[in-house]
Amino acid sequence: MPSAVSESLPGRAAPPQPAESQYVGARAVAEISLGAVAENFRAIAERVGPAVQICAVVKADAYGHGAVEVGRRLVREGAAALAVADSGESTALRKAGIRAPLLALGPVLPDEAPALARARASVAVADPSDLPPLEAAGEAVGRALAVHLLVDTGMARHGARPEEVAGLARQIASSGSLRLEGLWTHFAAASPSEPGPMLEQLAVFRRVAAEVEAAGVRVPLRHAAASAAIFVATAAHLDMVRPGLALYGADPGELRASGIPLRPALALRTRIAFLADLPAGSAVGYQPGYRTPRPTRLATLPVGYADGLPGSLGNRGRVLLRGRPAPIVGRISMDMTTVDVGGIPDAAAGDVVTLIGRDGDEEIRVEDLARDAGTIPWEILARIGPRVRRVYR
């Protein structure tokens, strides 16, 4: 994935003009502020205090921000570990020279075990059938693999049932090729206004952790809190937290409304590729998806759902141009999107258009885009495609 480096910070002024080198040969540019990522990390570190470790989640290419660049910065900021999804992400970080501890959140397929062992990644386990491939991989590399036992406290998608955990922990502890490094769970919800369900899951987890200790198995790390839970309840901090979305300045729920400072780290921009003056009643896009209600001017943007712009934004989304909003009209195509710029008479081919970020006094946050598209911020960020150029500031 191509990248470039620039000095100014996004979100402080109007977007850069297309004469800048970052736009040459690029249909879309994701401007990423590593400084913003660092600020968000420090806000989390202040919240949890020095006694709690931070495992920074950089899976899915750091939610579209670039796992290698973001991972390096977070390790410098003091992240105790980086969380990934699988063996491929673990291997990529190691090939990039990142030596920090890694935690593969899984679920892990049996044939991934050798690569995870070579990458020295800790591995999430949830079932006795997970253990034999990992034991064989540990024996092959000549060292015990660290594992984190996942407890299903209410998600029902992955994890050992509470009544199974103590026995599975004893099995891990008795293995010569595995080492129980952590016990963890994941919350189905963590809302400041309705913390009850999260606290119920936390109570189950604490009970299970006590049962494991009573069975004579020592657990160095207990962790449960992701981004929202970090700010909802101090009791959920335990030994380690796993922030993801909050690192990138996006709100997983009600944090910004609760006064939690989060600085967006990504701005997504493109340029006008084509302009057309159309009479009233003109059909626009496939099927057609739209007819102009009056004479107007349309701008074609050279981005579409292949770049991560959700197709559901057709006829309901907006972009920013010259500091003003402009509606998306017609269906979003794989590579093109049409915008009504009739209210912006000075629009010109080559103008920079903001899909996510600030332009003058106007701003579109990831949460805004997700709301308009009928999805969640995680999906918006993770689906920003590889042909979007990442520019690091």
Angle, vertex CA 291, rays to CA 288 and CA 293, nearest 5: 170
Instruction: Give whole-number Cα distances, 183 to 94, 102, 123, in Å.
Output: 24, 15, 11
**What would the two tokens of residue 200 be?**
């119920």
- Spell out the residues 6+ positions from residue 383 whose beta carbon is closer than 8 angstroms to its own: 64, 308, 310
Could you say which of 59, 63, 248, 392 is catalytic?
59
Could you say which of 23, 95, 286, 290 is catalytic?
286
What SS3 string covers the chain? CCEEECCCCCCCCCCCCCCCHHHCCCCEEEEECHHHHHHHHHHHHHHHCCCCEEEEECHHHHHCCCHHHHHHHHHHHCCCEEEECCHHHHHHHHHCCCCCCEEECCCCCHHHHHHHHHCCEEEEECCHHHHHHHHHHHHHHCCCEEEEEEECCCCCCCCECHHHHHHHHHHHHCCCCEEEEEEECCCCCCCCCCCHHHHHHHHHHHHHHHHHHHCCCCCCEEECCCHHHHHHCHHHCCCEECCCHHHHCCCCCCCHHHCCCCCCCEEEEEECCEEEEECCCCEECCCCCEECCCCEEEEEECCCHHHCCCHHHCCCCEEEECCEEEEEECCCCCCCEEEECCCCCCCCCCCEEEEEEEECCEEECHHHHHHHHCCCHHHHHHCCCCCCEEEEC
> Catalytic residue at 95?
no
> Catalytic residue at 59?
yes
What whole-number distance in Å separates Cα of residue 217 and Cα of residue 2? 47
**What would the two tokens of residue 307 be?**
């770049």
**Taking each helix axis from N to C terminus, what angle separates 196-214 and 162-173, rounded to the nearest 10 degrees?**
40
**What would the two tokens of residue 217 be?**
């198995």
Residues taking part in catalysis = 59, 286
